[in-house]
């Protein structure tokens, strides 16, 4: 299989190389908070390690941690579940892949609203499935409509992936918009909705996060994906989870069986950190959210002021995803031809030392876009946007 590498990881690696070579690169590529994991969370893992929690654990996860996740989903997301419905995985990415592997057979279709995170389409293909990309227009904040969803459904449709708030778009569906999409899915009982809610706590602009798994009519056909990476600044910990209630726990058990043949379980002494994070660290999360909200306003204002860029306002996650296609066909200050989002990003990095992610990895309709992350300091946002603005003004 011809599997593409992750474009986001490639950009992050390139920035590290250039910085190691002494280049003053501003990196807008990283999809991770620039904060440290709150100290009490780290201490909980240290204490568990020192107490000897270093042996094998149950494949779906430590019962106390699974129960803490279930209580969180009941309390915050109104999802009717128990600890038995939870499988703790090696990051949210692994949770999505396991869910797809448990659901999708060779030749079955998975609906992917795009622009979408770079790993969705490759993961569907790895499962032998056919990704059906449904484009959300920039003028609609990249969101698809119920009519588009209905038109994409066939007898071969097995699942749909939904990510709100969205990576790479930085936008999110309103509760009534999610309900309208779920109304369509409710009429097709062969379809399971995989709801990726990893950015649920990083929202701005007054839009309420809404979990489709709370809708009783489809609750047993929704797999809720989440984790601790983004909200708790724990990307390197690799802690994600899938919640799959209903059907006698059949889907959760299938996911756990797959994990048992892959990784067994996550690192044993990190389970205590899950319990502490979910029970005690709401104030830390809110402090980070407020910082991201301020940065969202800052970056959106600076990007919107750049010549001929179309950029929806970010309402969740920590990204903006502007359309830069008005500059295709121009030449850069260094003499490069700008004919795609990739050449735009490459020339900007080489000539202005600003790194961002070309949009072609986020689906067919992302080819006109680039992704900028504001998970960096205000100073970096201001300096990077200044360089980018000046560079764009010199395009000829």
- Model's pTM, two decimal places? 0.95
| Ranges of the chain whose pLDDT falls below 70 | 1-9, 248
pLDDT digit string (tens) for 77-87? Answer: 999 999 999 99
Q: Is 97 helix (H, G, I), strand (E, B) or coil?
A: helix
- Per-residue pLDDT, 248: 67
Q: Supply the pLDDT for residue 3.
A: 63
Phi, psi of 162 (to 5 degrees): -130, 130
Express the helix, strand and coil content of the chain in percent, nearest 5 each: 45, 15, 40
Pull the structure tokens for residue 376: 């960096």
- Burial state string for 179-200 with b = 16 or more CB within 10 A and e = fewer than 16: eebbebbeeeeebbbbbbbbbb
For residue 220, the surrounding DSSP H or E stretch is none
**CA 341 from centroid of its chain's CA atoms:** 21
Distance CA 23, CA 306 (A): 24
Confidence (pLDDT) at 209: 97
What pLDDT is stored for residue 239 in this prediction?
A: 98
Query: Which pLDDT does position 121 carry in this prediction?
Result: 97
pLDDT value for 11: 73
Q: What is the CATH architecture of 53-280? A: 3-Layer(aba) Sandwich (3.40)
Pairing outcome for strands 157-163 and 109-114: parallel
pLDDT for position 1: 58
- Whether 7-37+283-393 shares its CATH topology with 53-280 is answered no
pLDDT at 6: 67
Q: What's the pLDDT at 254?
A: 97
Domain 7-37+283-393: which CATH class?
Answer: alpha beta
Q: What residues does each domain of the chain span?
A: 7-37+283-393, 53-280
Look over the chain and give the mean of its residue pLDDT values, rounded to a whole number: 95
């Amino acid at each position: 299989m011809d599997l593409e590498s992750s474009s986001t990881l490639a950009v992050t690696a390139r920035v590290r190389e250039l910085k190691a070579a002494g280049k003053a690169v501003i990196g807008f590529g990283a999809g991770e908070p620039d904060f440290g994991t709150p100290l009490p969370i780290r201490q909980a893992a240290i204490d568990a390690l020192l107490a000897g929690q270093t042996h094998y654990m149950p494949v779906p996860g430590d019962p106390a941690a699974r129960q803490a996740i279930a209580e969180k989903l009941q309390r915050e997301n109104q999802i009717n579940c128990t600890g038995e419905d939870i499988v703790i995985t090696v990051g949210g990415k692994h949770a999505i892949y396991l869910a797809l592997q448990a659901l999708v057979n060779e030749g079955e279709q998975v609906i992917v609203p795009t622009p979408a995170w770079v790993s969705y389409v490759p993961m569907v293909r790895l499962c032998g499935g056919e990704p059906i990309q449904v484009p959300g227009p920039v003028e609609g904040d990249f969101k698809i409509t119920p009519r588009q969803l209905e038109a994409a459904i066939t007898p071969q449709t097995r699942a749909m992936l939904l990510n709100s708030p969205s990576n790479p778009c930085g936008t999110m569906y309103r509760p009534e918009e999610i309900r309208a999409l779920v109304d369509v899915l409710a009429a097709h009982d062969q379809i399971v909705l995989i709801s990726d809610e990893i950015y649920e706590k990083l929202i701005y602009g007054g839009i309420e996060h809404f979990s489709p798994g709370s809708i009783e009519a489809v609750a047993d056909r929704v797999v809720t994906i989440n984790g601790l990476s983004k909200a708790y600044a724990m990307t390197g910990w690799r802690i994600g989870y899938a919640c799959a209630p209903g059907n006698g726990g059949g889907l959760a058990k299938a996911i756990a069986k797959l994990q048992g043949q892959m990784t067994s379980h996550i690192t044993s002494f990190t389970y205590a950190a899950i319990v502490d994070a979910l029970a005690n660290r709401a104030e830390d999360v809110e402090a980070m959210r407020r910082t991201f909200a301020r940065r969202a306003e800052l970056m959106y204002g600076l990007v919107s002021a750049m010549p001929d860029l179309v950029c929806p306002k970010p309402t969740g996650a920590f990204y903006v995803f502007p359309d830069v296609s008005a500059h295709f066909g121009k030449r850069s200050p260094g003499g490069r031809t700008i004919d795609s989002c990739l050449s735009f990003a490459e020339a900007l990095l080489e000539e202005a030392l600003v790194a961002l992610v070309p949009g072609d990895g986020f689906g067919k309709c992302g080819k006109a876009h680039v992704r900028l992350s504001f998970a960096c300091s205000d100073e970096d946002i201001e300096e990077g946007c200044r360089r980018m603005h000046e560079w764009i003004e010199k395009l000829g």
